[in-house]
Structure 1
Amino acid sequence: MVSIAPAPATERVLTVSDLSVEIRRGDRVVRPVSGVDLVLHRGETLGIVGETGSGKSMTGLAIMGMLPAGGRITGGSITFGDTELVGLPPARYRGLRGNDIAMVFQDSLTSLNPTRRIGDQVAEPVRLHEGLSRREARRRAEEMLALVGIPRPSERMDDHPHQLSGGMRQRVMIAMALVCQPKVVIADEPTTALDVTIQAEILDLLDDLRARLGMAMILVTHDMGVISRHADRVGVMYAGRLAETGPTPALFERTRHRYTQALLASIPSLTHDRGEELYSIGGAPPDLSVHDVGCGFAPRCAAATDRCRAEQPPLVADGAEPAHAFACWHPADGPVERTPARLAERPAAVDETSAAPRLRVVDLRREYPAGSDGWFGGRRTVKAVSGVSFDVAPGETFGLVGESGCGKSTLGRMLVALDRPTSGEVVFDGVAVSALRGRELGERRARLQMMFQDSSAALDPRMRIGAILREPLAIQGIGTRAERTARARDLLDDVGLPGSVLERFPHELSGGQRQRVGLARALALDPSVLVADEPVSALDVSIRSQVLNLMRRIQRERGLSSIVISHDLAVVRYLSDRVGVMYLGKLVESGAAEEVYAAPAHPYTAGLLAAVPGEEGPAEADRVPRIHGELPSPIDPPSGCRFRTRCPLATDLCAEVEPVLEPVSPTHQVACHFPLQTKEGAR
């Protein structure tokens, strides 16, 4: 086993030696973990990173003794203190699980029991492990909810999970894991589904509690930015094995394994040159039910040789840094160095400066009924979108960014006429789409298409891919069946998929392949406007870069006008020419992407940029503290400026007068009484 340098607190609390796991699925045997060595010291955070299927989560489940049905440990050792966990009787394991070793799961909505109150779920571990009475356990649970930052914990004790926001539910999961003050916490993708602001709060909370309670933590994630900011040491996993491990600064500054190098290069950053393609890792992770003798990364590695394909490299220490180890026959020596591919120039026919807007959004509003305030209360409404206006030129990409609940997805559905506005207009090529009905709406909607966030839910599981791609053509009466099949084959070729995919069902494709099919489906009718709602949020970083490059290429080749909706600021910056920042149903800032990102004028925008993990952000972002607190309810938004309840610059004026969008430069607008950039200070 490789010797790993100890953290400042040298007490070793967990040791994993040569761990191997297999899972039997019918006549297939999958080996998700093979020969993994890990050491965890008191008070430190060990990050485990890798693509989906790399074995990182399965390693955590093996430590917890919670392998899925058909799973078993086939070799190695897991030692907690002086206790060997492999082969430990189930009753003794249950005594450790939740008490000494705890886990924060990825999906809080499915991990919490929807039928039980929050207080009872948080109190349950201390009642089981410490034998406290119901009253004592509830008091401990309330203290823990306060510790993790739940507002008014005594009131929240009797809430059910669906009554809490995603960030609050994740805090409840952390409270459940920490209520017995364990020595080791395994956090499995604890912030994957959360907005950047809530993600920053949750990760800072975990760091603070780790330091205060003296815990050791294993942070499982696919986000290298999170690792760079929050882990003391990191292990990079690929195909069930450790590819590289060491202190976080050493691994980032002197990357040794080619896979780690490729992972780091694939991440879109706030400073990436938009004229260059993102680096992407070709191919896909290997099938772990097939036993390969060589390096698992060899089929995707440009530096691979016959030796790589024939012989598995051992994990060896770097001579310059003994705590830094890698398993590569042809190691790199730092981050990737390459000449990036330049994106093709836009078609000459596209002239955004002189052309009339292809899409015009005029004072768009959408409100939904939300019941009433009791027997004698008035009717309540959810104010999802409240007076949004912007234009999109031919060939232009407009990005919409903001936290979950800000109204951006509702706005996207109205743009493609899947939802009707309460008031306002969506004007497409001079025609008010929101006023159309029947056949006229169907014909116009063919030119307005949407790429949905969840490709699994958006594709009919009972239909083959060929039928899914032919369907919109058949509805519009375009071509014969043979012509529609040929068109479907061409669409697959456009998005980089083989024709054989036509005969497959959605569940037979990977997440990246399904997202490509979703893009092909949106392009089937040759639309003029494409609305992409969180198009890559569910994808690994390596697959994400492939899809983003594909979207940029197709948008430029076809002269598409696009609206990209995302809470990922780096994705929006890479895809967008202009950006609109939404908060609680309103645009608070809008302008050229380069200008908004380099010099944010609204405190909310600056706070969003400051919260991006692994990014320094612009200097203006440093002038404003990170955003804290929950998004207010759209049923009863704050008076005046809706952001004032979370804004460090707010005054009485902000509560009394609602700011309107005003220019700080010819290409930059902001709705703020105290903008960070003024007309004189804008760049």
Structure 2
Amino acid sequence: MDLESDRVLAIRDLSVEIRRGDRVVRPVSDVGLVLNRGETLGVVGETGSGKSMTGLAIMGMLPAGGRVTGGSIDFGGEELVGLPAARYRALRGNEIAMVFQDSMTALNPTRRIGEQVAEPVRLHHGASRRAARERAAEVLALVGLPRPAERMDDYPHQLSGGMRQRVMIAMALACEPRVVIADEPTTALDVTIQAEILDLLDDLRSRLGMSMILITHDMGVIARHADRVAVMYAGRVAETAPTPVLFGRTRHRYTHALLSSIPSLTHDRDERLFSIPGAPPDLTVAAPGCPFAPRCEAATDRCQEERPAASAEDGGHVHACHHPASGPADLVRSRFTARPAAPAERPAEPRLRVVDLRREYPVGGRGLFGGRRTLKAVSGVSFEVAAGETFGLVGESGCGKSSLGRMLVALDRPTSGEVIFDGEPVSRMSARALGERRSRLQMMFQDSGAALDPRMRIGTILREPLAIQGAGGRAHRTARARELLRDVGLPESVMERYPHELSGGQRQRVNLARALALDPAVLVADEPVSALDVSIRSQVLNLMRGIQAERGLSSVVISHDLAVVRYLADRVGVMYLGKLVETGTTEEVYGTPAHPYTAGLLAAVPDADPQARPPRGARVRGELPSPIDPPSGCRFRTRCALADELCARTEPLPRPVTGTHQVACHHPLRPLEPAGISPKGVSQS
């Protein structure tokens, strides 16, 4: 048991309510948490579980209409509930600091980053402008911002997402606080940058003697970086335990279901992901019983009527469940039966063929020698997709995945190269000829909220593509819209609702239904589940797998989430700075990666297993170079431990590892086929 002398923060029976007109939301109810000196407490749960609101209550930053209605927040012997505003301002940013989720909105776009990092030092320590600026440069260097002295006068929009997040961390650490609350600090970041940021937080916590509350919905992040875990559901703590204990001896049924919903790099691809039925409860209603009971397979009448009390076990393991689980996630899963096996031999004419595709965008200003500068988004990409096959595209943000996806469905024209659909070059077709084939090429967009017209009801949104293509009368289109909603698991009542009235998961189902309205032959899904909770994500992924199996769709799935792509794709292409560096079957690319970049991506994936810790040295380090001025030779060489003069001088061409596995690397991690030995490279112009 933890000694009280080690406690930095103790929360007891904390309750929060937020008044919105006549409605009262209770996002936090009777929460109890303890944070010890030098430890990381992971707080995990779905959106709406109360994680962030608990953090804001600690910071005294509840939204308008919000107030603490009960309980205690003890910070080093000082009670924070009811603390005068002046005293809270003295603590915030000095003793307790917060790293917010969205660095772009948290940073002031009108102020230089040096000023923003220096501000808390001037406010809390009374430092001069010069001394505060020196401290800002020191802290920016501490968090690993490249060339911090040069970046001090940049504005937030001039930095990448990873750099902005480092600036956010630097602001939080400028006054060396005792407690840092990191609220989803890596949600919007690539797996490589996520790993760097989390390692950075771990390192700084150890070096500076801080304690940290890590708020996230990613159980893999918790497994790798938290000492103890608190699982929240419907504003309450469902289970808390040391990390190895919770993952090895899961007790609460919600934690059990949450762990079962996660796609992993070892998941059987023919087995459906477990998905939690239903949705979290309405927090405006004080219902009796266990809040998870309506979604729990083990629930009984007692669960519906009596709220479970917290039960403590050895090792500091506490849970509130009438029917606790017996160990690691072991829920029964069903298997896909209709999914066709990937063909052993490639057909003579694939459904989709991409030949040396390139896309460049002019940018402002001129280069060193006066020429017009261009952003090289896609630089000579070639691959094929067979009928009924799913091809996955993985890579970091900025590597050209989304630009490539838009060209595949003819939303953008390539600068050069071809997209050939069923033997016809759609990239060169006239607008009229392309319009006749548009129904066969559809896209599922990343942001379902932005992709659906907020002024249109769902029924109108689903009828619209049918109306544009002149498919039947209104009665036929309405019947088709109802059929599509049934196909994606939504009730017909959704027809009369607007997008803002739906949850994120429901909107993404509507997004998929609209893409399927015209029975496409090819579906391009751009980050289809990146914004969804783990439980909703599993529902959408199962839905996509099932629909593809039933309809025989050819699909291209674009994502930086390697576990998602492994679950959906038959073959995979790894993109780096506009080029495909490795292609192969899913088993080949994930099981025996041949390119150092692929191996680095896989090493950075957080696994929901505290014992699964890949070698740190294998990860990809540093920032992605600019696609305006990519490195000569191999574009990955500036981040590769194996790079030499050949890599700087000569661009590597794709070479076979096996008959279905290719890699573009001068120093591959796997032996090549004899026929593929060392063709002469092509100099990078």
How far apart are residue 345 of structure 1 and its match?
A: 2.8
**CA offsets, 1:186-207, max 9 Å, x none?**
0000000000000000000000
Instruction: Show the counterpart of 1:286.
Output: 281
Instruction: Show the counterpart of 2:681.
Output: none
Are the aligned partners of 1:246 and 1:324 in contact in 2 as well (CA < 8 Å)?
A: yes
Are the aligned partners of 1:606 and 1:624 in contact in 2 as well (CA < 8 Å)?
A: no
How far apart are residue 482 of structure 1 and its match?
A: 1.1
| 1:410–1:375 CA distance, 2 compared to 1 (3 A) | closer
Instruction: Show the counterpart of 2:391.
Output: 398
Compute the TM-score of the two structures, normalised by the length of structure 1: 0.96
Asked whether 1:439 is paired with 2:432, we answer yes
How far apart are residue 85 of structure 1 and its match?
A: 0.4
Instruction: Show the counterpart of 2:53.
Output: 58
Q: Distance in 1 between matches of 2:630 and 2:253?
A: 50
Q: Which of 573, 576, 588 does residue 566 from structure 2 map onto?
A: 573
The one-letter code sitting in structure 1 at the alignment partner of 2:508 is Q
Asked whether 1:368 is paired with 2:389, we answer no
Instruction: Show the counterpart of 2:208.
Output: 213
The one-letter code sitting in structure 1 at the alignment partner of 2:296 is C
SS at match of 1:146: helix
How far apart are residue 152 of structure 1 and its match?
A: 1.1
Q: Distance in 1 between matches of 2:37 and 2:311?
A: 25
SS at match of 2:531: coil
Q: Which of 121, 127, 136 does residue 126 from structure 1 map onto?
A: 121
Asked whether 1:47 is paired with 2:34, we answer no
**CA offsets, 1:113-164, max 9 Å, x none?**
1110000000000111111111111000000000000111111000000000
Q: Which of 510, 516, 523 does residue 503 from structure 2 map onto?
A: 510
The one-letter code sitting in structure 1 at the alignment partner of 2:447 is D
Q: Distance in 1 between matches of 2:370 and 2:326?
A: 67
How far apart are residue 438 of structure 1 and its match?
A: 2.1
**CA offsets, 1:55-74, max 9 Å, x none?**
00000000000000000000
Instruction: Show the counterpart of 2:30.
Output: 35
| 1:234–1:426 CA distance, 2 compared to 1 (3 A) | same
Are the aligned partners of 1:48 and 1:220 in contact in 2 as well (CA < 8 Å)?
A: yes
Are the aligned partners of 2:527 and 2:560 in contact in 1 as well (CA < 8 Å)?
A: yes
- Give the percent of matched residue pairs that are identical in Structure 1 and Structure 2: 78
Structure 1 residues not aligned, in runs of 5+: none
| 1:352–1:490 CA distance, 2 compared to 1 (3 A) | farther
Asked whether 1:315 is paired with 2:279, we answer no
SS at match of 1:648: coil
Are the aligned partners of 1:295 and 1:311 in contact in 2 as well (CA < 8 Å)?
A: yes
| 1:632–1:350 CA distance, 2 compared to 1 (3 A) | closer
Instruction: Show the counterpart of 1:166.
Output: 161
Q: Over aligned residues, Cα RMSD in angstroms?
A: 2.0
SS at match of 2:669: coil
Q: Distance in 1 between matches of 2:613 and 2:197?
A: 24
How far apart are residue 337 of structure 1 and its match?
A: 1.8
How far apart are residue 670 of structure 1 and its match?
A: 0.3
Q: Distance in 2 between matches of 1:621 and 1:606?
A: 11
Q: Distance in 1 between matches of 2:617 and 2:245?
A: 30
Q: Distance in 1 between matches of 2:559 and 2:517?
A: 23
Compute the TM-score of the two structures, normalised by the length of structure 2: 0.96
Asked whether 1:631 is paired with 2:627, we answer no
SS at match of 1:665: coil
Q: Distance in 2 between matches of 1:402 and 1:531?
A: 16
Q: Distance in 2 between matches of 1:593 and 1:20?
A: 47
The number of residues matched between the two structures is 675
SS at match of 1:381: strand
Instruction: Show the counterpart of 2:461.
Output: 468
The one-letter code sitting in structure 2 at the alignment partner of 1:105 is F
The one-letter code sitting in structure 1 at the alignment partner of 2:112 is R
How far apart are residue 30 of structure 1 and its match?
A: 0.5
Instruction: Show the counterpart of 2:683.
Output: none
Instruction: Show the counterpart of 1:669.
Output: 662
Q: Distance in 1 between matches of 2:464 and 2:640?
A: 48
SS at match of 2:582: strand
Q: Which of 520, 537, 540 does residue 533 from structure 2 map onto?
A: 540
Instruction: Show the counterpart of 1:240.
Output: 235
Asked whether 1:6 is paired with 2:16, we answer no
Q: Distance in 2 between matches of 1:283 and 1:250?
A: 28
The one-letter code sitting in structure 1 at the alignment partner of 2:221 is V
The residue correspondences of 1:64-83 to structure 2 (distance < 5 A) are 64-83=59-78
Are the aligned partners of 2:219 and 2:608 in contact in 1 as well (CA < 8 Å)?
A: no
Are the aligned partners of 2:515 and 2:523 in contact in 1 as well (CA < 8 Å)?
A: yes
Are the aligned partners of 2:44 and 2:51 in contact in 1 as well (CA < 8 Å)?
A: yes
* Displacement over 4 Å in runs of 4+: 347-352, 619-624
Q: Which of 82, 85, 93 does residue 90 from structure 1 map onto?
A: 85
Structure 2 residues not aligned, in runs of 5+: 677-685
How far apart are residue 335 of structure 1 and its match?
A: 1.7
Asked whether 1:331 is paired with 2:309, we answer no
Q: Distance in 1 between matches of 2:235 and 2:614?
A: 39
The residue correspondences of 1:127-276 to structure 2 (distance < 5 A) are 127-276=122-271
Asked whether 1:301 is paired with 2:306, we answer no
**CA offsets, 1:43-88, max 9 Å, x none?**
0000000000000000000000000000000000001111100000
How far apart are residue 378 of structure 1 and its match?
A: 2.4
| More divergent stretch after superposition (673-682 vs 140-149) | 673-682
Asked whether 1:597 is paired with 2:597, we answer no
The one-letter code sitting in structure 2 at the alignment partner of 1:498 is P
**CA offsets, 1:332-366, max 9 Å, x none?**
01122244211023369989743620000000000
Q: Distance in 2 between matches of 1:571 and 1:564?
A: 9
SS at match of 1:674: coil
Q: Distance in 2 between matches of 1:111 and 1:181?
A: 20
How far apart are residue 303 of structure 1 and its match?
A: 0.3
Asked whether 1:115 is paired with 2:119, we answer no
Q: Which of 412, 419, 439 does residue 419 from structure 1 map onto?
A: 412
Are the aligned partners of 2:222 and 2:608 in contact in 1 as well (CA < 8 Å)?
A: no
**CA offsets, 1:515-539, max 9 Å, x none?**
0000000000000000000000000
**CA offsets, 1:611-653, max 9 Å, x none?**
0112689x99859621110000000000000000000111111
Q: Distance in 2 between matches of 1:675 and 1:112?
A: 41
Are the aligned partners of 1:641 and 1:654 in contact in 2 as well (CA < 8 Å)?
A: yes
| More divergent stretch after superposition (520-529 vs 671-680) | 671-680
How far apart are residue 680 of structure 1 and its match?
A: 6.2
How far apart are residue 443 of structure 1 and its match?
A: 1.3
Are the aligned partners of 2:274 and 2:331 in contact in 1 as well (CA < 8 Å)?
A: no
